Amino acid sequence: MFTKSETVPRPIDPAIADYVSRFDAAMSEPGNTISEARARYRQLLAEQGAPDEAVISRHLTIPTRHGDLPARLYLPHNAAALMIYAHGGGFAVGDLDSPDRVLHTVSLGADVAILSLDYALAPENMYPIAFEQCKDAILWAEDNRDLLGVSGPLGMAGDSAGGNLTALLSHWAANEGGPTISWQALINPVLDFLALEGEVRGSYAHYGASPMLSTDTMRGFMFSYFVDHAARVDSSPLHVIGDYSILPPTFVAAGQCDALRDEGICYASRLAVAGVPVSLSVYEGMPHNFITLTRFSESAQHFVEDFVREARRWAHR
């Protein structure tokens, strides 16, 4: 039904070669502390630059069972819906600034308010802290629409680790009577934390040494985030979701050269089989974390255009 894994790896987009080389060199330098890794990640992502056009945004603090959660609200005029967003970074790096450039574009282009969450990071805060903070934030947002200044349907989106949180939270809401999440967007999501156990296959085998996310890096993120194997299972949507038909319409964005690509394709296929409306796009030459490459790559820019279109279609239907 959807694209299957190729037999020969494809090359990354030449336009991003210099940036991703510098990214990998900086992030993999021996002896990096977690604080240094976070600082380098922020510095590298700052090269995205400011958004071409910006909407009004403001900072909020959301109370959760694990303490106050910083958040940023993007509020265009006449927002038709509210999207809650979780950033990527392997649950260990990243912050509100990581997706900021793209979120301004999506908020403005789709006329959607976006509540971006700065959940607590590992290894200081291991699973399920980030998940529970985001769950509390969804409940708070639904109860405080007047404070946020936006009505309309509620959706969720996230990239990488944030895509994992989005898939888990959408399933929680549908399966356990949470707020109605009417749409979700998963951007190069991690959906199977058991994929690196035993022999690696598919896109992990082809792109496990590709830029932005290697298998070694992925193992390091998992080691810092999970206390045991059971937690990995609980956090793997491809293993814990039994009934895909209860999930909302979904946009899945995958990088052609991303080790996680096949997980997104598999999830989209299961939604389609279950009769859930799903849109899948695989972006040519894109490694992991292509949401941060829009300044450098036309393929990454196409992703943003698709994100805006899909968000607008959801919010204004």
Q: Is 57 labeled as catalytic in the residue annotation?
A: no
* Separation between Cα atoms, residue 50 and residue 247, nearest integer Å: 34
**How many helices and strands (H and E) does the chain possess?**
12, 8
Sheet holding 57-64, edge to edge: 57-64, 67-74, 113-117, 82-86, 154-159, 181-187, 250-255, 278-283
Cα 292 from Cα 119, distance rounded (Å):
19
Q: Which of 43, 183, 211, 14 is nearest to 106 (CA)?
A: 183
How far from the centroid of its chain's Cα atoms is residue 215's Cα? 18
Angle, CA 245 vertex, CA 239 and CA 251 arms, to 5°: 80
Contact predicate 280/252, CB 8 Å: yes
Best CA proximity match to 212, nearest among 9, 7, 86, 25 = 25
Question: Residue 185: what residue type?
Answer: A
Among residues 98, 116, 160, 297, the one annotated as catalytic is 160
Buried b (16+ CB within 10 A) or exposed e, 251-263: bbbbbbbbbbbbb
Distance CA(142)–CA(250), nearest Å, equals 20
How do strand 67-74 and strand 57-64 relate by DSSP bridges?
A: antiparallel
Contacts of 306 (CB under 8 A, 6+ apart): 251, 253, 279, 281
222: enclosing H helix or E strand: helix 215-225
Active site residues: 160
